[in-house]
Chains A and B, each alone.
Chain A
Amino acid sequence: MFDLALQAEPAATWTALAPAILLGLTGLVLLGIDTIRTDEASNALLASVSAGGSLLAFGTAAWFLVAGTGQERTGGAITLYGDALVVDGMSLFFTLIFTIVTAMVVVASYDYLRDHEHRAVFYSLVLFAATGMTLLSMANSLATVFVSLELASLPSYALVAFLKNDKGSVEAGLKYFLIGAVSSAVFAFGISLVYAVTGSLVLGDVAAAVNAPEMAGVLGIGVLMMIGGFAFKTASVPFHFWAPEAYEGAPAPISAFLSSASKAAGFAVAFRVFVEAFPLGALPAGVDWVIAFQVLAVVTMTLGNFAAATQEKVKRMLAYSSIGHAGYALIGLAALTAGGPNGDVLGASMAHLLVYGFMNTGAFLFIALVEHWGVGRTFEDYNGLASTAPIAAVAMTVFMFSLAGLPPFGGFLSKYALFYSAIEAGFWWLAAVGAINSALSLFYYSRVVKAMWIESPSGDFEIQSRPVGLYAAVIFAGLGTLLLLPAFGPVIETAQTVAATLF
């Protein structure tokens, strides 16, 4: 594969990478601005350049998706650099999630970073991580998977530990880094075992060689280790225990970024790698990864939701709920069968990740808003917030009910589509476990709503300011969650169409 990498690609082909290129360039431009302008006023400039760059990337990806770039009606997936990268409907769909979450996070960071130094570094690290995630969704070779996984992870470690005089942030960064380093080493060893058995890193060539390998046992261990690497990125069992710490200690916009975009990136690459490199029906005994994902999905859902129900701090509750949602999204891999309605299952999971990108980012940004006001972190501290900040409280209520999957919000339809597709594929028990967990999750999500609207304020607090950026991002996320209800039809249709082309 590498000997082909130096060949010039036709001009029309590399432009398919435009969203990733735009994100990377914006990151570099931010560093450039920082070197030229060092005055205090540059925060607004930096935030608007970052938001502009990510929205431009969003627009490009949306345009490509509508125009049919890399999809069946215009000649199929575009592969670049000797099959190392591929631009198709699925990578564009995931790029939409990453870029819109990035845009919301950088707009919210405008207020968060007002009193901090090194703002340009913060914004550019967010954009570099987003570049890595976009490349992760395009990776078509285990080599590019690993490189872009690190490109997405390394800035994230630094961002979690960004508040370098804050013990919680440093502790969170340390734990995130240590577990990330171990899981990427495990992932790398898994890749090396797969290479040892198949002799290639390109997903298509791996798929051609896994039919009757000489060392099926080694391949099985390699696949299992790669599942470990994905479990870290998506915050699923067994590599989930960094998530509550990292989300609680990190700056709140970064918690939003990691729990929405980074998780979606993990799923993007897991979907492609397992579906393309280890196709169902052609696997030797002992390499059946679907069973592994079924176990992981059930355990992750249950553990995330039960742990969330016992939390006292809202941010930590959201962290565990994010683990629970990783479990729901894992149904996309757990309910696959050879010859089943696989496109529907995978597409439903992708649509859920898009809706989740709005509602979960919004919920974490609401936490950022509350932290900005200096309100405490527990459920009791949220008592009576609705009387002092009604608009933000309405948005948070939308996020909570949508995360729980109540009918009039986007989260209901995406969960319904996900569970319905699982039943369609014959996995009614996966859907049942998911539905029971959703019912349980209503308990702890409604605690937030109850505290905000019904309880009377425990202490007096004055809201000093109405931060424009945070408000804009929270309201945008709320509108997105609401608008995804009428717009869910086209979304799920697109997701299932682009997912079906993988099989």
Chain B
Amino acid sequence: MVPPQYYLLLSAALFCIGLFGILTRRNALLFLMSVELMLNAANINLVAFSNVWGNVTGQTFGLFMMALAAAEVAIGIGIILVLYRNFDDVDVTKATTMRW
């Protein structure tokens, strides 16, 4: 059996890739994809440790998380659509009518 620490390393690496994407990408769609990577990093942990602990709690919650991620993307795409209509771009740094 693979030692549990390896799963943690894999998921941490995936999480960091997602975080890097969020910090560097300006396209709202790529930003969303990076968030998905971070959520899937959490899913890896849940499924792997479901196996380690021998209960199905983690796996079941993993399914919940996938459904929630899909719902979040549905809202996100809607917001990005109105963003495009108002600002003619999906660049997240273009929408600056208010100062930060």
User: Residues on A close to B: CB < 8 A?
Assistant: 1-3, 142-143, 146-147, 150, 154, 157-158, 161, 164-165, 167-168, 170-175, 177-178, 181-182, 184-186, 188-189, 191-193, 195-196, 199-201, 218, 241, 244-245, 248-249
Contact = CB atoms under 8 A, between A and B. Distances in A.
Interface residues on B, range: 35 or more
Given A167-B86, A171-B96, A174-B80, A182 B38 contact: yes
B24 interface: no
Contacts, number: 136
A167 B97 contact: yes
Given A170-B83, A171-B97, A177-B76, A195 B58 contact: yes
B42 to A, nearest CB: 4
B49 A177 contact: no
Given A150-B68, A171-B95, A174-B28, A181 B35 contact: yes
B35 to A, nearest CB: 5
Given A167-B86, A195-B61, A199-B57, 18 more contacts: A1-B57, A143-B57, A146-B64, A157-B76, A167-B87, A170-B83, A171-B96, A174-B80, A174-B83, A175-B95, A177-B79, A178-B28, A181-B72, A192-B49, A195-B46, A195-B57, A196-B45, A241-B100
A99 B39 CA distance: 31
A264 B31 CA distance: 29
Contact of B42 (A143, A192, A199): A192
Contacts of A175: 95
B63 to A, nearest CB: 10
A150 B67 CA distance: 11
> Which 10 pairs across A and B sit closest by C-beta, in order of nearness?
A192-B45, A185-B38, A199-B53, A192-B42, A171-B95, A188-B42, A196-B49, A189-B42, A164-B82, A181-B35
Contact of B22 (A1, A147, A174, A182): A182
Nearest to A201: B57
Interface in B42-86: 42-46, 48-49, 52-53, 55-58, 60-61, 64-65, 68, 71-72, 75-76, 78-80, 82-83, 85-86
A289 to B, nearest CB: 20
A349 B71 CA distance: 33
Contacts of B75: 154, 157-158, 177
7 contacts: A143-B60, A157-B75, A171-B86, A173-B82, A177-B75, A182-B22, A185-B35
Question: Of residues A175, A186, A192, which shows the largest number of chain B Cβ atoms within 10 Å of its Cβ?
Answer: A192
B46 to A, nearest CB: 5
Question: Of residues B42, B48, B76, B85, which shows the largest number of chain A Cβ atoms within 10 Å of its Cβ?
Answer: B42
Nearest to B54: A199
B8 A218 contact: yes
Given A189-B41, A196-B8, A174 B79 contact: yes
A200 B55 CA distance: 9
A173 to B, nearest CB: 5
A440 to B, nearest CB: 22
Given A168-B97, A170-B86, A201-B57, A157 B79 contact: yes
A404 B52 CA distance: 52
B80 to A, nearest CB: 7
A2 B61 CA distance: 9
Contacts of B65: 146, 188
Given A177-B79, A181-B32, A195-B45, A147 B68 contact: yes
Nearest to B55: A199
Contacts of B56: 2-3
Contact of B98 (A168, A200, A201): A168
A86 to B, nearest CB: 17
A154 B72 contact: yes
Contacts of B87: 167, 170
Contacts of A161: 78-79, 82
Nearest to B53: A199
Question: Of residues B4, B43, B49, B86, which shows the largest number of chain A Cβ atoms within 10 Å of its Cβ?
Answer: B86
B57 A200 contact: yes
